[in-house]
Chains A and B, each alone.
Chain A
Amino acid sequence: MTGPCLLGLAGCLLLAGCGSGGQETLSKAVKDAGSAVATARLALDLESSGQLTSAAATTALGDMVKDVNSSRTTVQDLSPDTPESRGARQASLDVLNGCVTGILTAQEAVDSTDGSPAASDAERMLAASARDLDELSTRLGAG
């Protein structure tokens, strides 16, 4: 299933089935992940332009992986009681997984000595994650 389809499904499911407590938790997790992805993009950009040492960039990216993982655990710990809310939780987890992958790729790009993966690839992944989070956040807000 493609990203937009997944997000569309998540939105419908959220509107249909998520309780307000669960929705608040999802919104908070998405907001926190958004902050982590924005930090990762800033750190990667500064490192690429020679303004940040790789040690500081690696540390920042490592911290952000921890932050998104923490959000992911919070979402995982939700106990949805309908098929719709279970689907919504899964869709959110998929977006958060994408964020972790993007940040880990950025960390690999910073640590890499042979230029693989490239920082530009990591930036593309992080930009995609930021878009997914934005869409998810909008849908959660609407729900």
Chain B
Amino acid sequence: MKKLLGLALGVLTAIGGFVDIGDLVTNAVVGSRFGLSLVWVVLVGVVGICLFANMSGRVAAASGRATFEVIRERLGARAGLANLGASFFINLMTVTAELGGIALALQLASSVQYLLWIPVAVVAVWIVIWRVRFAIMENVAGLLGLCLVVFAVALFLLKPDWANLAGQALAPAVPGSETGAGYWYYAVALFGAAMTPYEVFFFSSGAVEEGWSVKDLGQARSNVLVGFPLGGLLSVSIAACAAVVLLPAGVAVTSLSQVVLPVAEGGGKLALAFVIVGILAATFGAALETTLSSGYTLAQFFGWSWGKFRRPVQAARFHLSMILCLVVGVGVLATGVDPVLVTEYSVVFSAIALPLTYLPVLIVANDPQYMGHHVNKRPVNVLAMIYLVIILAASVAAIPLMIITGAGS
């Protein structure tokens, strides 16, 4: 019974923790401009993140060490540095976006300017990272993030034309008001949002934090293979709500306040309360994860003592690096830059950096020296190679598409 509850908790946490500010904004933007014609990208992204998060968790469980530590040791300092440079830069952008997301959610609840909420957000994130146990932190944020299920509930309450939605999803086409380049730009952005590198590093470092061994591989697999796809359904619900309410009204999403309007139309103020709590939990949880991921990657590259299972005094540089990341994030937001814009750029840059993140994971997961008999099986490698081609294509196409479309505008 206890094992079953643990399994359910893990899956629920994975669902609630799947969506972050990147998924929220990108799916709503895409839904409001392209309807459900890009749902296939969410599907491709979810399969990809399941594949590599599962691989990364297996590396951590089999070797007892976080993926990045193993990459640094197995591939050497230069390859490790390329991986660190790419993932750390994206992490920092994502930390900034998530802090902005927390502040924007608080503004939606209070109408107090989001800039005034940023110091509150950053102090709250820092206190939780400093004081709260890893399991509690992860479970509370993940479970509260489940409030985002209200997007799916609102979709039913809106009584959409299901046949029309299914038609958009199953026979994707570029709407007349949009360009082909814009369509592919947002395909890359959605893919980047689903496969954000921090998720993989957080997943494997979290496995070490929680002391996983090969005995826990079953639960880890179910968390990923059940939780992430259900989280992906949340992403699709966000896009569908926007497609049903905002697209016909001629609204193209540019701010978080527009994302919640379909939910209010479908379910009124109660649904609105749920969605604000959900957004707050999702962005807060992701701010914790990205801040920790920044600390994990730096500490694991430089060989510092790391982990929340250690007291801060025993992992001083790990904690100091996270504080510096938070300060940088606040500094960027203090310039007045639009957090939604930072989010949009972060998911595209995430797509650019994907090969540097996922190729090393694949190499390490095939090394029997670290993995023993838990190395990748042939079908996993075949699928991973297909994904590396997709990842490479997305990475190469991202910047030209960004220039051609003026960043999707």
Interface residues of A (CB under 8 A from B): 28, 31-32, 34-35, 38-39, 41-43, 46, 50-56, 58-60, 63, 67
Contact B272 A38 (CB under 8 A): no
Whether A52 contacts B269 in the complex (CB less than 8 A), given A42-B251, A59-B107, comes out as yes
Give chain A nearest CB distance to B350 CB in angstroms: 25
Give per-residue flags for B248-274: 1 if the beta carbon is below 8 A from chain A beta carbons, else 0: 011110110110110011001100100
Instruction: Pick the contact of A63: B109, B252, B258, B276 (CB < 8 A).
Output: B258
Give chain A nearest CB distance to B262 CB in angstroms: 9
Give the B interface residue count (CB, 8 A): 23
- Name the A residues within 8 Å of B276 (CB-CB): 56
- Supplied contacts A56-B272, A56-B276, A60-B261, 4 more A-B pairs, CB within 8 Å: A42-B245, A43-B257, A51-B265, A55-B108
Complex CA distance for A38 and B247, rounded to whole angstroms: 10
Give chain A nearest CB distance to B101 CB in angstroms: 14
Contact A60 B269 (CB under 8 A): no
Complex CA distance for A55 and B17, rounded to whole angstroms: 26
Contact A52 B272 (CB under 8 A): yes
Q: Is the interface of A mostly helix, strand, loop or mixed?
A: helix
Whether A56 contacts B255 in the complex (CB less than 8 A), given A34-B250, A38-B250, comes out as no
Q: Is the interface of B mostly helix, strand, loop or mixed?
A: helix
Whether A56 contacts B257 in the complex (CB less than 8 A), given A51-B268, A51-B269, comes out as yes
14 contacts between A and B (CB under 8 A): A31-B252, A38-B251, A42-B249, A43-B257, A51-B269, A54-B111, A55-B109, A56-B108, A56-B111, A58-B111, A59-B111, A59-B257, A60-B257, A67-B254
Contact B261 A39 (CB under 8 A): yes
Instruction: Pick the contact of B254: A50, A54, A63 (CB < 8 A).
Output: A63
Instruction: Pick the contact of A56: B249, B254, B264 (CB < 8 A).
Output: B264
B110 at the interface (CB under 8 A from A): yes
- Name the B residues within 8 Å of A32 (CB-CB): 252, 254
Contact A60 B255 (CB under 8 A): yes
- Name the B residues within 8 Å of A46 (CB-CB): 261, 264-265
- Name the A residues within 8 Å of B260 (CB-CB): 56
B335 at the interface (CB under 8 A from A): no
- Name the B residues within 8 Å of A54 (CB-CB): 111
Which chain A residue lies CB-closest to B258? A39
Give chain A nearest CB distance to B134 CB in angstroms: 33
Give chain A nearest CB distance to B44 CB in angstroms: 28
Which chain B residue lies CB-closest to A51? B268
Which chain A residue lies CB-closest to B104? A59
Give per-residue flags for B225-257: 1 if the beta carbon is below 8 A from chain A beta carbons, else 0: 000000000000000000001000111101101
